[in-house]
Amino acid sequence: MSPQSSAPPGTAGRLGWAIAPLAFAQLIVSLDIYIVFVAMPEMGAELGFSAQNLQWVVSAYAVAFGGFLLLGGRAADLFGKRRMFMLALALYGFSSLLGGFAGDPLTIIIVRAVQGLGGALLFPTTLSLVNTLFEEGRSRNRALAVWGGAGASGLTLGSLLGGVLTGAFGWASVFFVNVPLAAAIALMAFLLIPADKPRPAAKRTFDLPGALTVTAGVTLIVFVLVQGPESGWFATPIVVSAVLGVLLLVAFAVIESRTADPLMPLRLFGNRSLVTAMAITFTFMGTFGTVPYFLTVFFQDVFGYTALMTGVAFLTQAVAIAAGTQLGERMTSRAGTRPSLITGFVVGGVGTAVLAVGVIADGSYWGLVPGLVVMGVGQGIAWTAMWIAAASGVAADEQGIASGMASTTQQTGYAVGLAIFVAIANAGTRGLTGDALRLAESDGIRLAFYLTGAAALIGAVVAMTLPKLRAGAETPVPSDAVPSRQQ
């Protein structure tokens, strides 16, 4: 991989290896979304979680992660990307250590919220480092394929690793595993990622009003999307949170239009490639991103798999996704971002429908394999291409906030998609037990997968609106995008 032209002399070889800590960091972020799923039943029973509170093991992470992404992206631009990378890893490592020793539900929920904050700092920082260390075009595409392969595969490897660890060592191991991983990644980053360049003090301004309003507003909206299906969409806390969240986001837009140094420059919305990528990340996680949740339920509740067997069952999809990300890089470099995204969403959508055919209560795992493979390859292609689109035509000193914008819509899409499809899948299960419940869960998940596959095709339609690219380049035609500046 060719380093960016602005890199210091003599660092070309080191920059090629810099993708290693960035890819592993992305793997941690993706793993932590799902790694606790298969550990939750054991964790809940041992620590005394109520049925109502257990969901917050997942929700606390999702709310904090979604709420702080924009802040994390801008902090990387202003305070240094490597510096924020190290801080995020420290948050992950310390909170995970506390989580492994936790003896009550409240501690676990707090730990998951802090992990979510770490993810909100780490995800956009990692993506912006990829986009600034590697020059736009073939070099960046290859780096994003490696980074994207780690991230997309982590969505399924999280369930695999969670099952293996829980089955062998108990639920606490899903927290302890992050401690050595974070330490090793921090060491690699110290050795391989160039230090942050000094910035003049005059340029280190921070839009505090914008940061407070957008963080609070997005956090409240994500809370509504996560908690709404459980509490009821018209429950007082949900309605109040929704109204306050919208008002805060309106206030944020007003602040950004008037401040001299905004947290999120509104002119970035003039970059059609970025705006389209934001819609695509929303669609991707609102469809494909929900599948591991339903597969976990299906494997454990319908097939009766143990935590270990559930984890191993995800290996097929993980391998398919990894292959898809590499194929996506080649397709994007040769055919362009738009054809790659269309192909990825169509193939992934068809694969999800094929997967639905195999969702039978008395079926076998082998009936799921064709769908897992086809869907995984499509996911991998789309995942790589959508982050290439999000980075196109964005200045190096604004890659962090652009990454934060695209990842915020990604996380919001996951919350929206999961809320919708869980409600659909569970609609026919109320009051049932035993074999009747198994059959109803199977039918509900099959319907959710059919609808997920159909909804994924929206991503292909959205991808058709991407701006045209120059032949052999990934930079949009100037009239459609903000010109790119070298660091």
**What confidence tens digit (pLDDT) does each residue in 395-404 have?**
777 778 888 8
Q: In this predicted structure, what is the pLDDT of residue 201? A: 52
Mean pLDDT computed over 219-223:
86
Contact between 391 and 144 under an 8 Å Cβ cutoff? The reply is yes
Residue type present at position 7: A
Give CATH for domain 12-195+263-480: 1.20.1250.20
Where exactly are the structural domains of the chain? 12-195+263-480
Contact between 365 and 304 under an 8 Å Cβ cutoff? The reply is no
pTM of the model: 0.81
pLDDT, tens digit, 9 for 90 and up, residues 237-273? 999 999 999 999 999 999 988 887 787 888 888 888 8
Q: Give the whole-angstrom CA distance, residue 407 versus residue 32.
A: 15
Q: Is 234 exposed, middle or buried (0-12, 13-18, 19+ CB in 10 A)?
A: exposed
Q: Give the whole-angstrom CA distance, residue 177 versus residue 165.
A: 9
Helices (H), 134-207: 138-169, 173-176, 178-192
pLDDT category, 430, cuts 50, 70, 90?
A: confident
Q: In this predicted structure, what is the pLDDT of residue 3? A: 38
Q: If we measure between CA atoms, which residue out of 318, 285, 301 comes closest to residue 419?
A: 285
* Dihedral of alpha carbons 473, 402, 94, 115, sign: negative
